[in-house]
Chains A and B, each alone.
Chain A
Amino acid sequence: MRIGFPRALYYFDHFPFWAGFFHRLGIEVVTSPATHRQIMEQGLKKASDETCLPLKLLAGHIQALKDVDWIFLPRIVSVEADTYTCPKFLGIPESLLPAVPPGMPVLTVTLNWRKGKRQVLKDLEGLGVQLGKSSSDVRKALNEGLEWQKRYQDSMGAGWDFEESIREIGRAAKDLTESAKVPTLVTWKERMFAKMSSTALKRTAEFPIVDQNRDRLRIALVGHSYLTHESYANLNLLRKLREKAKVELVQNVNQEEVKTNLFGLRKKLFWSHSKQIFGAGNKFVADQSVDGIIYLTCFGCGTDSMVQELVSRKAREQHKPYMVVTLDEHSGEAGLVTRLEAFLDMVERRRVHEGYVSTYGECLDRNSNAL
């Protein structure tokens, strides 16, 4: 039995959970390939014209799933107490049925975590019936999924790489021969220490850790995970940015920090992603070591239309360099590169001008405005 899992939207946040869940049930999960031109084009054809780019991509990925018995399109209503996911998530799978190849059965389940784990288990048991699995199997699978998800989230830190950790999960999910085993996702700290030689370790113990990369710019890339990690749609923004600066992501900010940074709002934010983005954005605005913030959004994003404005106001108050990059399906690379270069130039020059320590002596010449 093979279940097709499109590599879009909630894939970027919750794939580990589902990978663990189905792994425990002994069901193979097949993901669609990374986005390429054809997937994008197929998605644009089949999805509603008025929806957002990530949903169009999902439509493309659904069609890219080959040799599967089902396509899995869960309706994730909420992932935690007090919030909901974006309304467009709630419209899945119905809003995407036109994209499903004729004759291909769709497997779905409605999950509403704000109602508690017990309710989720009940709903998953319903899914289990369709798959011919017993309640106790489903309960074990749920716990397995949660374990995988927790491991995955714990691994997010400064050195965390999305592609790398998701690959490990994909590998573990495929391996059905071995008895159910949680993928060995080491945390970024463990990885860093593993890489360091013992002498280097000693050195860090002797000297207080000074950030050696201080000369490099630190740029926070704020936005939905399915945009910041969708390297085809965002024209490799993350990689381009990493070539020139140290990048902070929303995913690197843990829940506690997000919670403490949700101030200045008259009401709670409804949407879980927006809450994460706003809290992390606030943290980056206040963080002196972050030199600038890039907000990545896309046309047609309803929640960003508000949250982007909120973050931009915070940034303006604090005079933090801030830029919005808006993606759509026709984005030309030249426009993005120009904006990115100009932004990094600006940040660099402002940092020099505002009297940070710099190694570029010639930049301190006030008459020259160049690097």
Chain B
Amino acid sequence: MLVDDKYFLGVDVGSVSTNMVLLRPDNTVKEALYLRTQGRPMQIIQEGIKLLRSKIGKSAEIMGVGATGSARQLAATLLGADVVKNEITAHAVAASRVNPQVQTILEIGGQDSKIIILRDGVVSDFAMNTVCAAGTGSFLDQQASRLGIKIEEFGPLALEAKNPVRIAGRCSVFAESDMIHKQQLGHSLPDILAGLCQAMVRNYLNNVGKNKDIKGPIFFQGGVAANPGICKAFEEELGQPIIVPENYDVMGALGAAYLAQEKVGSRPGTRTRFRGLDLGETRFLAKSFDCTGCANRCEVVEITQDGRSLARWGDRCGKWSVAGVADTAISGLEQKEEQRGA
């Protein structure tokens, strides 16, 4: 049973959701968590670790940790990650492990959307949305609550549509006024929802998917993949089947776990930098201050654990930030402080 008690942990801290995956050494998923970040990434990471610990018991061993997502630096600092990777690589790794034939990944998350083109299991091209969040989960969330329906009901309702209405999807502000207009004309709710799905897909393909060679098999992952209305709209627009993988909502975390496995597993003797499953009990604090060293006035963030400084970032010049999250970083910091004091 000892073998079963070893896991790799992948953590994906995004703007809307914080996901964690425990991967067994035989590449099967033991546990997958999907938590709402709720603007408090540090607490949610700790809660997630507590939850995981309650599920796997005290004797379990974490062999490696990978962090990804927009708060990957924060997550890596808190957890002591072995690998810190961007979301695109993490998603691509997860998808190509699940299905090595995959050629296109459509990923729509809470605040960003991306397309990844793979050829022979290697990323050959990618794009992310630029400044507009029109085609993302947050927008759907917002519209669902405006219409007074749960986000879970959104997709199934959209599937009931008979005549989807046409909604301008270029901009979320205009899309909303368009929807209100259609609703006041008396169109049915399913038709409006389906129209919104189509508008969002059009917007995504025109912006993010511009000039990309979309070939099957196509994976659709990220939180929005839970919405069958969007899946259907993608299938209609692309004329190809869309595959939603089993762990579609935690693919980033899964990719991070695979990356951790490769990093730690490939080199026997390397030990994980994971800070232990009991980190849910310690106190992490984030402080921020304005550096007054020059006219840039950078906002520097400092993370402390039980009063001990773990990392700092946010400055442009590198005066405060410390690369890496291991003990060396801490000693480096202390050294810096000494120098300043002298």
Question: In the bound complex, do residue B126 and residue A36 qualify as a contact, i.e. CB atoms below 8 Å apart?
Answer: no
Instruction: Tell me the residues in window 107-160 of chain A with beta carbons closer than 8 Å to chain B beta carbons.
Output: none
Flag whether B183 is at the interface (Cβ < 8 A).
Answer: no
17 CB-based A-B contacts, threshold 8 Å:
A37-B295, A37-B296, A39-B295, A337-B86, A338-B86, A338-B128, A341-B89, A342-B89, A345-B88, A345-B123, A346-B88, A346-B122, A346-B123, A366-B121, A368-B266, A369-B121, A370-B258
Instruction: Tell me the residues in window 240-268 of chain B with beta carbons closer than 8 Å to chain A beta carbons.
Output: 258-259, 262-263, 266
Q: With the chains together, A362 CA to B266 CA distance in Å?
A: 8
CB distance from B105 to the nearest CB of A (A): 12
Contact with A along B70-97 (1 / 0, CB 8 A): 1000000000000001111100110011
Question: In the bound complex, do residue B295 and residue A370 qualify as a contact, i.e. CB atoms below 8 Å apart?
Answer: no
Chain A hits for B262, CB < 8 A: 368, 370
Are A345 and B263 CB-contacts (below 8 A) given A312-B211, A369-B93? no
Instruction: Tell me the residues in window 119-139 of chain B with beta carbons closer than 8 Å to chain A beta carbons.
Output: 120-126, 128, 130-131
Q: Closest 9 A-B residue pairs measured CB to CB?
A: A342-B88, A36-B295, A341-B86, A370-B262, A346-B123, A353-B122, A342-B86, A345-B89, A338-B86
Contact with B along A342-371 (1 / 0, CB 8 A): 110110011001000000001000111110
Partner of A236, one of B92, B211, B258, B316: B316
Are A338 and B316 CB-contacts (below 8 A) given A369-B93, A370-B259? no
Majority secondary structure of chain A interface residues (helix, strand, loop or mixed): helix
CB distance from A243 to the nearest CB of B (A): 11
Question: In the bound complex, do residue A346 and residue B296 qualify as a contact, i.e. CB atoms below 8 Å apart?
Answer: no
Chain A hits for B294, CB < 8 A: 36
Flag whether B297 is at the interface (Cβ < 8 A).
Answer: yes
* Interface, chain B (partner A; CB < 8 A): 70, 85-89, 92-93, 96-97, 100, 120-126, 128, 130-131, 211, 258-259, 262-263, 266, 294-297, 316
Chain A hits for B88, CB < 8 A: 338, 342, 345-346
Chain B hits for A349, CB < 8 A: 122-123
Question: In the bound complex, do residue A369 and residue B297 qualify as a contact, i.e. CB atoms below 8 Å apart?
Answer: no
Chain A hits for B295, CB < 8 A: 33, 36-39
Residue of B nearest to A319 (CB): B124
Are A350 and B130 CB-contacts (below 8 A) given A334-B70, A345-B88, A370-B258? no
Q: With the chains together, A349 CA to B97 CA distance in Å?
A: 15
CB distance from A89 to the nearest CB of B (A): 26
Are A341 and B124 CB-contacts (below 8 A) given A36-B294, A36-B295, A334-B70? no
Chain A hits for B123, CB < 8 A: 342, 345-346, 349-350
Residue of A nearest to B68 (CB): A338
Q: With the chains together, A243 CA to B316 CA distance in Å?
A: 15
Q: With the chains together, A237 CA to B124 CA distance in Å?
A: 22
CB distance from B303 to the nearest CB of A (A): 16
Flag whether A13 is at the interface (Cβ < 8 A).
Answer: no
Question: In the bound complex, do residue A341 and residue B131 qualify as a contact, i.e. CB atoms below 8 Å apart?
Answer: no
Residue of B nearest to A328 (CB): B131
Chain A hits for B86, CB < 8 A: 337-338, 341-342, 345
CB distance from A284 to the nearest CB of B (A): 17
Q: With the chains together, A33 CA to B93 CA distance in Å?
A: 45
Given A232-B316, A345-B86, 10 new contacts (CB under 8 A): A36-B294, A37-B297, A335-B128, A339-B128, A341-B86, A342-B88, A346-B125, A353-B122, A370-B89, A370-B259
CB distance from A65 to the nearest CB of B (A): 15
Chain B hits for A33, CB < 8 A: 295
Question: In the bound complex, do residue A369 and residue B97 qualify as a contact, i.e. CB atoms below 8 Å apart?
Answer: yes
CB distance from A315 to the nearest CB of B (A): 10
Chain B hits for A341, CB < 8 A: 85-86, 89
Residue of A nearest to B89 (CB): A345
Tell me which of B87, B123, B128, B211 has the highest count of chain A C-beta atoms within 10 A of its own C-beta. B123
Partner of B122, one of A319, A326, A334, A350: A350
CB distance from A136 to the nearest CB of B (A): 43
